């Protein structure tokens, strides 16, 4: 077959065009392949980064379970917080978390281990008292409401249970100091002996701070200052041991048979009592004007020369205008839960309220509000039902 010159030229042009297109498309195919490979690698990286987060979530859920479990277990939680952190918690036979070992990588990459004490289960929870319901659905494991004038019990819940009372202890500390009629103007210096060795808690009253006995009483009763309370017991003329003995002797005189004190702050969980005993203590303490005034003071400032410390009442209800509180004291350590005792006027009645082992930061305050509303409703209903004429 004979091909003309013109046709041959056309064929050559077509072949050249096809070759040029093939060469120009090669980089695009290579780029597409590179993108696909990159996407695959990125997917693996994202999966690898996401996995620890799921592991952390699962570990945190396990941590919650361990806190409630009766058997001895350990759980490791991995999290990112300025480097890798490794936490191990050991649960005791009662389900209580005791120590936390924290492993953190320093800037140099070396592992640093630190140990801290984890919150303990409250004694009320350990005894199973938190599983007991009540008509008012209180947060507190133990509650008691008494008419101060008639001794009528208006409400009670586990009022005979003997539990740690935390800083409610300071009410007896204040009572013993007040009855001793010590000089409230005497200056007392905070020493190393007043530093908390039970819980390792902090204080704004540094060692070397000097205040009057009256100021220390104010801080102990109003804002639950631990070093202030310890200094009050330590500087008793007979010494700290005798002061604690006087606390227990006073409890015995008042018929507080469920009560025991081992130190004047309440930091020790060995300071224990019942709601019935505490109601008795509140009634007696209310008779002392100094205890009424200091415990219900909304705030107080301590002048230390170069600086001034401002303290607020640990009971938020004090600043609530709808409350008429004559005496109060709060308390908290993990073994005791949130505690509160008060003397207050509600619906024209002088009441004594005791709340022990409340759950949640605001649980005890919420319980006091519920009881107040309940008493007001009961009083209104009684007035309506009263026969006329």
Catalytic residues: 167, 170, 224
Please give the sequence-ordered ranges of beta strands (E in DSSP) within the chain, or none if there are none: 74-80, 84-91, 97-105, 111-117, 140-147, 153-157, 163-164, 187-189, 210-212, 272-273, 299-303, 308-312, 325-333, 337-346, 349-358
Euclidean distance between CA atoms 137 and 158, whole angstroms: 14
Euclidean distance between CA atoms 362 and 80, whole angstroms: 31
Euclidean distance between CA atoms 47 and 236, whole angstroms: 66
Asked if residue 177 lies in contact with residue 236, where contact means CB atoms within 8 angstroms, the answer is: yes
* Integer Rg of the chain from CA: 34
Helix (H) or strand (E) holding 383, with range, is helix 363-385
């Amino acid at each position: 077959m004979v091909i003309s010159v013109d046709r041959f030229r056309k064929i050559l042009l077509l072949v050249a065009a096809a070759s040029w297109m093939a060469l120009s498309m090669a980089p695009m195919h290579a780029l597409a392949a590179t993108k696909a490979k990159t996407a695959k690698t990125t997917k693996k990286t994202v999966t690898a980064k996401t996995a620890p987060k799921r592991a952390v979530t699962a570990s945190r859920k396990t941590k919650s379970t361990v806190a409630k479990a009766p058997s001895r277990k350990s759980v490791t939680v991995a999290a990112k917080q300025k480097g890798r952190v490794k936490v191990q918690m050991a649960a005791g036979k009662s389900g209580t978390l005791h120590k936390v070992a924290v492993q953190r990588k320093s800037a140099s990459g070396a592992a640093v281990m630190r140990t801290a004490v984890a919150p303990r289960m409250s004694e009320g929870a350990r005894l199973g008292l938190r599983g007991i319901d009540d008509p008012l659905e209180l947060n507190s494991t133990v509650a008691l409401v008494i008419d101060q004038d008639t001794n009528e019990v208006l409400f009670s819940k586990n009022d005979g249970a003997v539990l740690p009372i935390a800083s409610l202890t300071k009410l007896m500390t204040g009572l013993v100091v007040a009855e001793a009629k010590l000089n409230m103007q005497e200056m007392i210096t905070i020493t190393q002996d007043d530093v908390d060795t039970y819980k390792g808690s902090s204080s704004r009253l540094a060692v070397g701070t000097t205040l009057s006995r009256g100021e220390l009483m104010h801080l102990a009763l109003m804002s639950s200052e631990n070093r202030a309370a310890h200094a009050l017991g330590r500087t008793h003329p007979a010494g700290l041991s005798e002061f604690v003995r006087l606390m227990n002797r006073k409890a015995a005189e008042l018929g507080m048979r469920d009560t025991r004190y081992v130190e004047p702050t309440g930091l020790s969980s060995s300071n224990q009592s019942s709601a019935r005993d505490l109601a008795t203590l509140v009634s007696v303490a209310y008779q002392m004007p100094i205890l009424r005034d200091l415990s219900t003071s909304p705030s107080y400032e301590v002048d230390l020369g170069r600086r001034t410390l401002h303290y607020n009442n640990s009971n938020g209800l004090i600043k609530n205008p709808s409350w008429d509180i004559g005496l109060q004291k709060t308390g908290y350590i993990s073994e005791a839960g949130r505690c509160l005792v008060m003397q207050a006027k509600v619906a024209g009645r002088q009441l004594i309220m005791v709340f022990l082992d409340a759950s949640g930061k605001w649980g005890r305050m919420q319980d006091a509000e519920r009881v107040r509303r309940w008493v007001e409703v009961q009083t209104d209903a009684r007035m309506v039902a009263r026969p006329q004429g």
